[in-house]
Amino acid sequence: MAASPQLAFDGVHEHAHLKIARALAPLPRRKPSGGGGRGRRYADHKQHARDLAQQAASLRDRHQTRERVLGINPALVMVIECNDAVANLVEALENAGLRVLEGRGDSALAAFSGDPEMTSFLNQRKQYETVLTRGGNPRYLGLFDAIDRIRPLEPSDVVDEDLAQRLVSVSPNEILKIDFTCWCTESREDTILRNQETRTALSNAEANILDSTCRYEVGLSIIRAEIRAELVLDVVRTDRISRASLLPRPLLSQPEIDQWPADRLPEIRPPARTAPLVAIIDSGIQAGNPLLAPAIYETVSAADDIADGADESGHGSLVASLAVYGSLERKLHRKDPLHAAGRILGIRVLNHENTFPDAELWQSLVERAVLMAAERGARVVNLSLGDRGHPYRPPAPVGIAAVLDKIARERDLVIVVSAGNVEAFDHAGPVYGRWLIDSEQTGLIPPAMSALALTVGALVPHDDQGARPARDSVARHRLGKAGQPSPVTRTGPGIENAIKPELSAPGGTFVYDEDRKRVIADSVRGGVVGAAGGRPDAVLARDIGTSFAAPLVTHAALRVLGRYPNLRSTSVRALLLATTVPAEPILEADSEKEAAYFERHLSGFGKVVAERAEFSSDHRAVLLSEENLKADEVHFYTVRVPSVFFQPGEKRLAIGLAFDPPTRATRLSYLSSRMSVYAYRGADVDDVRAKYAASPEEAPTELAKYKIDLEPADRLRLQGANQAAGKTWKNAWDRKYTDLVVVARNSFRWPYEDHKPVQYALAVVLEVTQLVPGLYAELRAQLEVLAEIEPEIELG
């Protein structure tokens, strides 16, 4: 697959980004009329109806004969295997008297019936079998044709694989520490009752409850308990449990110490007093490190049984260094002065074993740490950790993601999360891209699926230049070339199949050892370099992984906020998204579109370059708008096309969109709304507005001849709250294309009473590859400059 051109930042001319204002007043969006449908799936609908009736009767009869378990009457929970997107069936199932509990991948969902007879559901099934509409289709066709099978919920649906393996290998009396996640529904009372009933069952099992939380508003209901192995499945059989799992163990490496004396460090400049505060939620910070000491604001512990914020492993210190300085390889080689882009707030959540404390739910601990960061004034939060033992399986929401999304929206935080590392990468072999995509074990680690956070995957970096000599490799060859996804990176998609990770950054090199026939880390030649921790005598360390790709994106966010301190978090996200450069392709597929689809779940929308996010240049102008968009409204923007676009040479339009919709983990429609963005050239903005006013379509077909076909396509982008798209041209534009019109559209999905204006930011980038001056100046003459921070002047 051919890569898009990488339009490089020239690093010389630094210009502030520009403001773009709406051209017209908002336009209310016309609601689509609905209708249509996909037609019948089951030609013999009567036989299908009878099959479903038999399955429902078997389910009902089985439930009626079940006995109490641990003092609890088991609930009637069923798994509905379907052939349509699970979110499309929620309303129909609820109208049939079933309460949807959770999606299970794309093809099954769990539902609860408060009526043991399933009366409403079976009445509708009867009508599906016997009653035809005027159009000749069975009644309730959309519901029952979408259902392939109904079956009871089984322990295998609930017990995680690692716990299942543990249960068959231990003695019945062995005490296990288990996290029991309870069903959360739209009913607060029902959610609380399920949690209480599970506590009762655990008490009857003589379990020791270590910690618990029941947070209806974010769909988080978990009880951590010590329990005998023989009783775990009894708790599961109460059907109050959606998941039973072993405690999480983050996969964090011990950074390799780089023997670099402190007196060889270049000049270290402390951050400005007004520099943004970044929270590093990790293993702590080595406060005495000469690279970190000038930038430290505070180091604290968020856990009751962790005494202080010191770093015993080195992981958090390396992450913190990368966040404020970026990677140091080239800077050390050139002896460039090091100027911290932000002040460091270190919040420790990992104990001396580099794991979350057993006595406390890790979700509660991370939530407390993020709230601590917000209360101390942090603008950016970096999370390079998570639950690697339980990879996310889309599209259903997850409670910890809803927790982060709620805080990010309410506290205006930029949250950057690593995609997670693949532990068993030795199975990948030298051709690893397809394995990463296809394996069930390489999904994102919680909380990387968070919709409002920026999730970061790892790329193979360029070789370092002099920070440390490279070793010769015998019987090995490099795995991937610079700019390609790393074999360690985990893959998306995220909640509701959103593109995740959205961004990528260098995260270390791997090699394939021909003798040992396995992939091994090559941190010596390709590790990311930063500050050491864990040892007071060490200055530098290097390591590999997405843990160290994420803070490079955090660094870019800090630079943006340092330059434009009054921006909302949505604007920072939009700027990072719009100014990426493409990652190198790695996969071969049957078509270019298929390859591009898979690549996006490896490296997202592209690689972040901090300079591009912070500055415009003579030949690249970045335009930004911060707005609020009401329920089902449309905003219109217009930009005069710069004259250099009418000349030969490569040119590019890129757009970044970030918005902050309310979220709810108890709904499969996790985001309250979806936003989309379209671009038109050669059309009058008044005509575009009129066409949108007259059409219920998402993008009016009457404007098709003006529409720019951005990539990725809108239908692939709109599942997420962080979006980017672009298009590159090699030829000169026709001079009739004098204006660009950009349209932002907000489609609400929840009941109308839940609708509130949504904050969003739109970044538009116009760029040419040839270093022809004038593009920025031409647009600058029309538009206002974003307010930059006043530089601090230190006297004497």
DSSP secondary structure code for residue 243 in this structure: E
Encoded tokens for 37: 């449908």
Question: Catalytic site residue 315?
Answer: yes
Residue 291 Cα distances to 117, 287, 288, 314, 529, angstroms: 68, 9, 8, 13, 12
Residue given tokens 């069923």 in the structure block: 78
Give dist(CA 701, CA 705) in Å, integer: 8
Maximum Cα interatomic distance, the chain, rounded to a whole number of Å: 91
Would you report the helix, strand and coil content of the chain in percent, each value rounded to 5? 30, 25, 45
Handedness of CA 15, 17, 19, 20 (dihedral sign): positive
Question: Strands 175-182 and 414-418: what pairing?
Answer: unpaired
Give dist(CA 673, CA 755) in Å, integer: 9
Handedness of CA 78, 84, 87, 93 (dihedral sign): negative
Phi first, then psi: what are they for 575, rounded to 5°? Answer: -65, -40
Concatenating the DSSP letter of every residue in 460-519 gives: PPPPPSSSSPPPP-SSEEEES-TTSBPTTB-B---GGG---S-EEEE---EEEETTTTEE
Give dist(CA 166, CA 255) in Å, integer: 30
> CA nearest 564: which of 620, 615, 511, 498?
615
> CA nearest 348: which of 417, 285, 442, 422?
285
Question: Catalytic site residue 304?
Answer: no
Active-site annotation holder among 4, 547, 569, 571: 547
Q: List, in order, residues 6 or more apart from 247 with CB less than 8 Å away.
A: 177, 178, 179, 224, 356, 358, 362
The three-class DSSP label of residue 27 is strand
Encoded tokens for 347: 């919040």
Active-site annotation holder among 17, 48, 63, 315: 315
Question: Catalytic site residue 547?
Answer: yes
Residue given tokens 């409403």 in the structure block: 120
DSSP secondary structure code for residue 372 in this structure: H
Handedness of CA 500, 504, 508, 509 (dihedral sign): positive
Nearest-5° Cα angle at 197, 194 to 200:
155
Nearest-5° Cα angle at 403, 401 to 408:
95
Phi first, then psi: what are they for 227, rounded to 5°? Answer: -145, 150
Concatenating the DSSP letter of every residue in 724-787 gives: EEEEEESSPPPTT--EEEEEEEEEE-S-GGG---EEEEEEEEEEESS--TTHHHHHHTTSPBPP
Active-site annotation holder among 239, 282, 543, 660: 282
Distance of CA 678 to the CA centre of its chain: 23
Handedness of CA 86, 660, 379, 582 (dihedral sign): positive
Q: For residue 276, is the peptide bond before it cis, meaning its omega torsion is within 30 degrees of 0?
A: no
Instruction: Please check whether residue 465 is in contact with residue 329, taking contact to mean a CB–CB distance below 8 angstroms.
Output: yes
> CA nearest 558: which of 796, 340, 335, 408?
340
Encoded tokens for 183: 């069903």
Encoded tokens for 351: 């104990």
Give the catalytic positions in this structure: 282, 315, 547
